[in-house]
Structure 1
Amino acid sequence: MEIRLIKTFQAIVKYGNFQRAAEALQYSQPTITMQIKKLEEELGMKLFERGKTITLTSAGRLLNERADLLLREYDELNVALTDFMHGDAGIIRIGASEPSASSRLPEILRRFSEQKPKVQVQVRISTTKDLMRMLLDDEIDIALCNEAEPHIQLDFQPLLYEEITLLLPASHPLQHKQEIHLKDLKGETFLLTPGTCSFRIRIEEMISSQIGQLQRSPILVDGITVLKYFVQANMGIALAPVVAVSPPIPGTITRPVRNLMNGPRLGVLTRKNSSTSSKITEELVDEIKRLRTIPDEPVMAQSL
């Protein structure tokens, strides 16, 4: 059913006859007659009783009652689609991994929502591995996460290296040491995240290169944002991203460690097929890129 046919029908009802409706719409009367005939054929029922005056049939009265709502929804849809095309409305689905999901994403989305109040934001929090799957399954549009294994269908745009710091219980003997090296931590109990976590992999590389075999078995904690509470409970120490443990919670302190390697890279993960990307997605990516401290580099296709 064409919208213009509904508008012609409404004009006839408003002006009382075909001739006046044709003049109002700037159509010829035969055109108006042809449009109503087409509408009646599509619906399979008569809308008008013709005579000296025209009157609505029962079907015509029903259509007239619903036509205003139909046209109003059509106009609202047009406005929504125009807003979407211009990047002012729509839905954006973003995924994020910790600690950025808690420490960085809220401020990013606050700024974005102030600029785009009509955009609905949906947030998923998960691991980098799961976020990759969500992107490939079209469950999210973009992800803010640490670098993962390259994939032929995904692009990773690095933004920064996570800064690593040492988190200690406030009463720890090392609190007064002016300069701390990794080798000073050899006899400590480390709190580590699971083996698939990019932070765990990088921290184990640091420990392996400068400490070697740990004297005490580490305690594994499934969640980088909760490490600080285990340190607070005096269960061990942790090498953790600064953004996840700053400012320190009561009962804990942070200290720099000499000669630490860079932490894993944080960046924006997107599907390689940019033709599926909306203007809203592109503008949110631009907002996220304000985090960038790594010099911009050409985005290249990644391969398996």
Structure 2
Amino acid sequence: MHTTLRQMRVFTTVAKHLNYTRAAQELHLSQPAVSMQVKQLEESVGLPLFEHTGKKIQLTEAGKEIFQYVRTIFQTFEEMEEVLDAMKGLDTGRLNIAVASTVNYFAPRLLAAFSRRYPGIDLSLDVTNRERLMGLLKNNEIDIVLMGLPPEDIELVYEPFMENPLVVIAPPGHALQHERRIPAQRLAEEVFIMREEGSGTRLAMERFFTEQSIPLSTGMQMTRNEAIKQAVRAGMGLGVVSSHTIELEVETGRLLVLDVVGFPLQRHWYMVYRKGKRLSPPARAFHDFVLAEALRIKQEPV
């Protein structure tokens, strides 16, 4: 089989997007040029790599196998570049970080402090939901992820680096505002604004209600904590969120935390990466920096 790095790069980009137009845009090529590179690779392999279903394309079984191998090849090249950069010192290098949306209330401060210490490292930050984080980890497409409870169906290395307490929030003037030691069963009378299915916060919340045998009345579903906070402020229901995400709203009186028995739910934020992954020098530096400095940075006044 005779193939080129260019063909593999084009194929990988098409396989990632499953769309020739998006791949062409990312590669700054014309769509016919992208199609030609894929066709040449298919001729070299001797098997079709994509199949068309209507206007959509999907990887064939051969395409899936090639995709896995090609991705490994490029990851090896990246590791080689990072090792060579390390031989020159930590003045250069790339670092790709992905964080859950709840962590993003703190992540920019953490990354800013890291950049001040290692100004030559090129940082990339992806803020996304739990489902996409799991995909990035499963496919080994990211250096390090900062998230809540890691999934159990992927072989991972994970280390807690900060507590992440979950609290019940309500709008000012709520009937329970001045109550103390509110029985958890009282929450059965309230409607809750929920995070999306699979969210770590939602999983912890549902587990608590199930363990307490409390029926959970749900209202709207939101994919972002910011949307949940706005819905709660508007009186659409109560919410359960990380206490780190509401510091400003509580301080300014726009939201309040209810004193419910069993809350806060004590959780942690974790630093996560694939088991067996060799951390690049920039990733290792970030790993050590987070474990040593995250809590101090979080406690600094904004």
- Coarse TM-score class (shorter-chain normalised): 0.5 to 0.7
Within 5 A, what are the aligned runs for 1:44-83?
81-82=84-85
Query: What do the CA deviations read for 1:211-235 (whole angstroms, capped 9, x no partner)?
Result: 5224x44322222232111011110
Residues 247-270 of structure 1: CA distance to partner in whole angstroms, max 9, x if unpaired?
326532123322237344320111
Structure with max Cα Rg? 1
Structure 1 contact 95–143 (Cα < 8 Å) conserved = yes
Aligned match of 1:145: 147
User: Corresponding residue for 1:288?
Assistant: 290
Q: TM-score, normalised by structure 2?
A: 0.63
Q: Which amino acid aligns with 2:248?
A: P
Q: Which residue of 2 aligns with 1:134?
A: 136
Counterparts in 2 of 1:164 and 1:217: CA distance versus 1, 3 Å = closer
Task: Could you tell me which runs of 5 or more consecutive residues in structure 2 were left unpaired when the two chains were aligned.
Answer: 1-80, 297-302
1:84 shift after superposition: 6.2
Change (3 A) 1:181 1:87: farther
Shift of 1:166: 1.7
Q: Aligned equivalents of 2:190 and 2:91: distance in 1?
A: 53
Equivalences for residues 145-294 of structure 1 within 5 A = 145-151=147-153, 153-210=155-212, 212-214=214-216, 216-248=217-249, 250-260=253-263, 262-275=265-278, 277-289=279-291, 290-291=293-294
Distance 2:87 2:101 in 1: 30
Which residue identity does 1:135 align to in structure 2? L
**Which of structure 1's runs of 4+ aligned residues deviate more than 6 A?**
none
SS of equivalent to 1:228:
helix
Query: Equivalent residue for 1:30?
Result: none
C-alpha separation in 2, matches of 1:112 and 1:160: 17
Does 2:130 correspond to 1:119? no
2:77 — aligned with what?
none
Residue 99 of structure 1 aligns with which residue? 102
Alpha-carbon distance in 1 for matches of 2:213, 2:184: 7
Match of 1:297 in 2: none
Aligned length: 212
Q: Give, in whole Å, the separation in 1 of the partners of 2:237 and 2:86.
A: 53
Structure 1 residue corresponding to 2:112, chosen from 110, 113, 125: 110
1:142 and 1:268 in contact (8 A); partners too: yes
1:63 is aligned to none
Provide the TM-score with structure 1 as the length reference. Answer: 0.63
- Match of 1:171, SS? coil
Identity %: 20
What amino acid maps onto 2:115 in structure 1?
Answer: S
SS in 2 for 1:203: helix
TM-fit CA distance, 1:115? 0.7
- Whether contact under 8 Å (2:86, 2:281) holds in the other structure is no
